[in-house]
Amino acid sequence: MFSKSRINEPGPKTTGDEEKQKASDVAAKAPIPEFTPSTPKTKPAASQLSSDLTITGNLKTTGDIQIEGTVIGDIRAHLLTVGEGATVKGECLADDVVVNGRVVGRVRGLKVRLTSTARVEGDIIHKTIAIESGAHFEGTVQRQDDPLKQSDKGGASAAPAKDATKN
């Protein structure tokens, strides 16, 4: 049932060349470990537009952006924060939109939040919305499962039909 173990007994003698060959075979068969960073990749900080900055043109980023100045144009981002003293004249489209300042234009987002200092003149298309007491809002609110989708209802299909009848 039990047998004597040979763990402590010396094995057959090998020459130095054989040992080197065995070591190189083991090293060749061992998988090369992939580089893994010691710390997890951190999310880059939000881009900030200061209060003395005015931008005319569209902004597009896959990251986060915080507006404190004035933007005349459309903004596309992951997280868009419009500061208390900020003004945006154009469409705001982001996964998360937080409005503390003034927006004149359409707001589209999965999550839209109007704080008590918000002033919005335009339509809001959202999946979820929160409007704090004291926020000023003029426009319509519409819930959609995919508010980031650019096409309007019937707008894309009606335009080609009109162009075809003009010829």
Q: What is the pLDDT along the chain (167 residues), one digit of tens a residue?
A: 555 655 555 655 555 566 556 655 655 565 666 656 666 667 778 889 999 999 999 999 999 999 999 999 999 999 999 999 999 999 999 999 999 999 999 999 999 999 999 999 999 999 999 999 999 999 999 999 999 886 444 333 333 444 444 44
Residue boundaries of the structural domains of the chain: 47-143
What pLDDT is stored for residue 167 in this prediction? 43
Closest CA to 136 of 100, 105, 94, 108: 100
Question: What integer pLDDT is reported at residue 43 of this predicted model?
Answer: 76
Per-residue confidence (pLDDT) for residue 149, from 0 to 100? 83
Rounded distance between C-alpha atoms, residue 85 and residue 100, angstroms: 8
Is the distance from CB of 64 to CB of 78 less than 8 angstroms?
yes
> CA–CA separation, 80 vs 86, rounded Å?
12
Decide: helix, strand or coil at residue 83.
Answer: coil
What pLDDT sits at residue 42?
73
